Structure 1
Amino acid sequence: MSNKLIQMVAIAALTAAASMSAVAGDLNNALGGAVGGVAGAALGGAVGGSTGAVIGGAVGGGAGGAVTSNRRERTGAIIGGALGGGAGTAAGNAMGGRTGGLVGAAVGGGAGSALGGNISRSNSYADDYSRGSRSGKRRHKHRHYD
């Protein structure tokens, strides 16, 4: 293996480890975004070159985040996975060609999906708290007896 490729893989591994520890609770979203990003980038690269790889990484990262997230996390996981997968693929392509694009798609899609899902879930719980829980309140219909 070339020296540049070893450096790129080491940087990608360190980045992935740092992002995983920051969002350890969102491992499912990270895994889904990473696998989807790699699959999309590989398929897009085979069909449309480097531009197709970027688009495929974005679509795959978003789809992977959507599949592995729950209702509260889904929107953020899709957006984060798509942005991270596309950006990671583009950066990886620029640094290390096709292999770098796949590594970038995995790291970007995984981290973006995990972070987006985490933010979306936090906002969802905050919305519930600010509105007050309606589940414990009894509501009666106003009836008119004629």
Structure 2
Amino acid sequence: MRMTLPALVIGILVTQGAMAAGDGTAAVGGGLGGALGNIVGQQLGGSTGAAVGAGVGGAAGSAIGAPRGNKTEAAIGGGVGSAGGSIIGNKLGGSTGSTIGAGLGGAAGGAIGNNLGDDDNHRSNGKHKHKHKNKHKNH
């Protein structure tokens, strides 16, 4: 129980930082999807079902919230973050901790994945084209 409060505080800080960086829609989508998927998964399959549900929900929510070109990265980040948050939250605070962890993990993972997708897109769009000029030499 001692680890619950610091984990929540760190999750909230990461989520706020992600929202401030302009990754809000992927973060909100990943957080909501992860939490809802966690709740449905708990009802269907206990803690394992909760982690699977959180992963699927976090991935879907992050992908929906991410802009075009970043959907894959945001989905991976949201899915992994939600599933990991669900597992860690379950160890720290049972089913309620699992849902909170899935929400925070999905929000952070979706935002980070979206941000990484932005970095990749900027690098690939910055290719330099070299034009070859024919130079004629006077002999």
- Under TM normalisation by the shorter chain, which class is it? 0.7 to 0.9
User: Which residue, out of 70, 76, 79, partners 1:79?
Assistant: 76
Name the CA shift for 1:129/1:39 in 2 (closer, same or farther; >3 Å): same
> How does the TM-score come out when normalised to structure 1?
0.81
The C-alpha deviation readout for 1:47-87, integer Å capped at 9, x for no partner, is 00000000001000000001111112111100000000000
Query: Residue 22 of structure 1: CA displacement?
Result: 3.2
Query: Residue 131 of structure 1: CA displacement?
Result: 5.3
Does 2:53 align with 1:56? yes
Superposition RMSD on alpha carbons, in Å? 1.6
CA distance in 2 between partners of 1:17 and 1:99 (Å): 16
Deviates more, 1:11-20 or 1:42-51: 11-20
CA distance in 2 between partners of 1:78 and 1:71 (Å): 12
- Do 1:12 and 1:103's aligned partners in 2 also have CA atoms closer than 8 Å? no
- Do 1:15 and 1:107's aligned partners in 2 also have CA atoms closer than 8 Å? no
Name the CA shift for 1:131/1:69 in 2 (closer, same or farther; >3 Å): farther
Query: Structure 1: any 5+ residue segments left out of the alignment?
Result: 133-146
Could you tell me the percent identity over the aligned residues?
37
CA distance in 1 between partners of 2:54 and 2:97 (Å): 12
> How does the TM-score come out when normalised to structure 2?
0.85
Does 2:45 align with 1:33? no
CA distance in 2 between partners of 1:83 and 1:41 (Å): 13
Which residue in 1 is equivalent to 2:14?
A: 19
User: Which residue, out of 95, 98, 102, partners 1:101?
Assistant: 98
Query: Structure 2: any 5+ residue segments left out of the alignment?
Result: 130-139
Q: How many residues align?
A: 127
Give the AA of the match of 2:26: N
CA distance in 2 between partners of 1:11 and 1:39 (Å): 23
Where do residues 126-141 of structure 1 align in structure 2 (5 Å cutoff)? Answer: 126-130=123-127
Give the AA of the match of 1:86: A
Equivalent position SS for 1:72: coil
Which residue in 1 is equivalent to 2:89?
A: 92
Query: Residue 92 of structure 1: CA displacement?
Result: 0.5
